[in-house]
Structure 1
Amino acid sequence: MSRRSLISEALASTPAEPVIAVEDVAVAKPRTTFTTKRLDAFGESARMVKKPSIRLKPSECSIWSGNARDYELLNEQRLRSLIDSIQAENGNRIPVVVRRTPDAEKRYELLIGTRRHWAVSWLNANHYPDIELVAIIEDIDDEAAFRLADIENREREDISDLERGENYRAAVAAYYDGIQARMAERVKLSTSTLARYIGLTEIPKSVVSAFHSPMDLQVRHGDKLLPLIRNAATRPQIEEAAAHIASEQSFRQSGDEEPISGAEVVARLVKAASSPRRGRARKLVIEANGSTIGQIDRDQGRGLTFTLTPTDLSADDILEALRPLIENAKILKGRAR
C-alpha cells in the first residue's frame, strides 16, 4: 500500500472538519536524499489533509505516551544535526502533529515529531528562545494516532527495533484486543514481521545490556537469540555471557575504545549457549574464629576466586581458614582427571 493510502486510512477516523485550502508553494529541490524524500512525503501528507500549520512553544505540549520513541533517551549528541538544521531554518520545516487537550494541564498533546519537539526545546533553553515549533492540529483517536506515527517511524533510521517492538506490543494490547493478526492487517505488516519485532521485548534487560546501545540490537539478532533465551537449558549461559560482555563494554567505554559490535555480541552469546557448562559457580562463605571474613566464587572448571572483607584477624588466621578450601579444590581437581 502506498504512503498516501496509509496516511488516508490512518486519518479516516478523523471527525469531519471544515476544509481550509492552502496554496502549494513551489520550492527548488536539491538532489534527492533520504531527508528530501521525507520532506516531499510530509509535504504530500500536509496537502492531503489540507490543514494550515500553527506555531507554538514546546512547553505548550505534553508528549503522547503511545509514541514509539523514548523521549528520555534523546540528547544533544544524538540530535545534533537536527538541532543545527532547525536553528538554520529558524524552525522545523516538517510540521509536528498535535491534538488539542482542552481538559489537560497543557493545551496540546504531541502525537508525531518527538525529536523535533526535543530539538526546539533544547534551542529555547540554549540562547534561541524565539524559535517555535511548527505544528498541524489533528483531531484523531489513539488508534489512528498510533498508525499515523508508525508511518513516520518506518522511515526513521534512528529508532531502534527494540523501541518499535515495545511500541507494537503495547499497541496490540491497547487497540487490538491482544490479537497480533488484527494489528498486522491495520498497519499493513505481515504477521511474521510483527511477531519478530514484538519478540525482541522477550529479551531480558540483562542480555540487552550486553549491547553497546539498544540501537545495536536488531530484529535479525532476535531470530538467533530468542530460541536460546526461551530454552531453560541455555538461558543461564546466555545471561552469564551477557554479564561478562556488559562489563567489557563498560571497560572499553571508560578507556575510549571501540565498543563490541552488535554482530559480535550475538556471536559470543550464541557460542556461550553452545559450549558445555563446566560446572555451575557457587559462592562459599569463608569463616575464621566464628566470623565471616569473605566468600569464594567456586567454579570447578575455572578455579577459585577469593573475596576477603576487612578484618582484625592476622594473616596466619586467614591463611589457616583458606587452607582446607584450597586442599578440597585440589581433591576435586584430581577426581575430575
Structure 2
Amino acid sequence: MSRRSLISEALAASLNDPAPAPVPASDASPAAPRPNFTNKRLEAFGEAARIVKRPTIRLKPSECSIWSGNARDYSLLDEHRLHSLIDSILAEGGNRIPAVVRRTPQGELPYELVTGTRRHWAIAWLNANHYPDIELIAIIEDLDDEAAFRLADIENREREDISDLERGANYKAAVDRFYGGVQLRMAERLKISKSQLSRYIALTEIPPLLVSAFHSPMDLQAKYAEKLLPLLRDPTARGKLETAADQIASEQSFRRSGDEQPIAGSEVLARLLKAVTAKGRVQKAAIAGADGATVGQVDKDQQKLLTLTLMPSDLSTDDILEALRPVIEQAKIMRARRR
C-alpha cells in the first residue's frame, strides 16, 4: 500500500472506527509483546483518525497562511520538485487527499494550513498558471498547537522529500515548545523511539560549514551525526573537518556550475572522516623568486591541500606574485587530473 493510501485511510477512518475498549486487567496477557515499529506507526495513524473529522470544504490557497510548526520549508518548494503532484492535481481537478486547516479568527487570513503544504503550493502554482478555478480541498479542524504538530508529523513521516535536517530542526523546536524539553515525553507522544528522535535533533548541531559540503540537505542523513559530532567536539579534529568541508563545498559548487554529477552524501562523509583520520607525511617545497631567493614555502598534505607560507622579503608585490604563479598553475593541473 502506498504512503498516500495509508494517510488517506487514516483520515477516512475518522469516527467510523471508534477506539477499542480497554482489555480488563484479569483478561490481559502477562507477557504482552513489546510494540514494534509497525505497531507504533499504526497507533500513530489511529491517532490521526481520531483527531481529524469530516466534512471537507473548498478554498483558495490565498485564504490560508502556513503554520510555522510544520517541518517542511515552504520556501524550498518549486515547480521542478512538485511536478508529479502538479500533474496529478491537474488530472484529477483537485487534491484527492484533503489538507487540514484550522480557523484563525484573529489572523489576517481566515485559515491556517496544518498539513498539506505541498498540495497548497501546487494548487497556488496552478492558480497562477492558467488554472484559477482549481481549489484546495481541506478539512477544518479545531486543533491546539501540540495536536497540530503531531498530526503534521504523522503525515510528514511518510514523505521522502523532507530532509532529516528539516525534521531535526522541527523536532528540536517542538520538544521545548510542547514537551518541556523532555525528549522521552515527546517520543512517547509521537510513537517513535527516543534514540531515533535524539538522532534527528543531534543533526542540528552540525555547523553550516559542514552542511554546505553536501550537495543538498537531503544528502545529510541523521545517522551521520553519530560520526561527525564527536569529532566536532575536538578542536583539532574540528579544524580538519572544516578545512575539508570548505574544499568539498567548492567542488560541489564547481560541479553545479558545469552541470556535473554532485559528490554523493556517503562520499562526502567518507572524505570528511578521512581528513581527520589520515596520517601521512606533509610534503614541503621552497618557493623561489626570479633571483633565486626564497620567497616562501608550500606544504601539501595527503588530502592534497596546499598551505602557502610567505617569508619577509625585499621583493616587490609583483615579483612575489610571479614567484607564486607556478605553484598556482600546478595546483590547477592537479585538480583537473583528479576530476
The 1:323/1:137 distance shift into structure 2, 3 A limit, reads closer
Which residue of 196, 211, 214 maps to 1:211? Answer: 214
Q: Distance in 1 between matches of 2:297 and 2:86?
A: 50
- Whether 1:39 aligns to 2:39 is no
Cα distance in structure 2, aligned partners of 1:147 and 1:100: 18
Contact 2:53–2:139 (CA<8 Å) still a contact in 1?
Answer: no
- 1:317 counterpart residue number: 316
- SS at structure 2 position matched to 1:91: coil
Distance change >3 Å, CA 194–CA 217, structure 1 → 2: same
Query: Which amino acid letter does the alignment assign opposite residue 147 of structure 1?
Result: R
Which of 171, 175, 178 is matched with 1:175 structurally?
178
| Cα distance, 1:230 vs structure 2 | 2.4
| 1:259 and 2:262 aligned | yes
Which residue identity is paired with 2:68?
A: S
Residues 128-164 of structure 1: per-residue CA shift (max 9 Å, x gap): 0000000001111101110111111111111111110
TM-score under structure 1 normalisation? 0.74
Who is 1:248 aligned against? 251
Structure 2 residue corresponding to 1:231, chosen from 228, 231, 234: 234
Distance between the aligned counterparts of 2:297 and 2:199, measured in 1? 38
- Confirm or deny that 1:114 pairs with 2:83: no
The answer to whether 1:53 aligns with 2:52 is no
SS at match of 2:192: coil
Following the alignment from structure 2 to structure 1, what is the Cα–Cα distance between the partners of residues 275 and 237? 9
Tell me the residue number matched to 1:15: none
For 1:275 and 1:90, locate their aligned partners in 2 and report how far apart those are by CA, in whole Å: 57
Counterpart for residue 150 of structure 2:
147
Deviation at 1:177, TM superposition (A): 1.3
**CA separation in 2, counterparts of 1:232 and 1:164?**
28
The answer to whether the 8 A contact 2:67-2:113 is kept is yes
List alignment gaps of at least 5 residues for structure 2: 17-48, 283-295, 326-339
In structure 2, the residue matched to 1:125 is 128
| RMSD (CA atoms) | 2.8
Q: State the distance in 1 between where 2:109 and 2:181 align.
A: 31
Structure 1 position 231, deviation (Å): 2.3
Contact 2:245–2:272 (CA under 8 A) maintained in structure 1: yes
Paired residues, number: 272
CA distance in 2, matches of 1:125, 1:297: 60
- In structure 1, the partner of 2:22 is none
Is 1:77 the equivalent of 2:80?
yes
Instruction: Please give the per-residue CA displacement for 1:244-267, whole angstroms capped at 9, x wherever unaligned.
Output: 111101111111111110100000
**Greater displacement, 52-61 / 298-307:** 298-307
Q: Report the CA distance shift for 1:303/1:213 in structure 2 as closer, same or farther (over 3 A).
A: closer
CA shift for structure 1 position 36:
3.4
For residues 11-61 of structure 1, the C-alpha deviation after alignment (integer angstroms, 9 at most, x for no partner) is xxxxxxxxxxxxxxxxxxxxx444434433333348654410000000000
Counterpart residue number, 1:6: none
Q: Which moved more, 1:62-71 or 1:33-42?
A: 33-42
Scaled by the length of structure 2, the TM-score of the pair is: 0.74
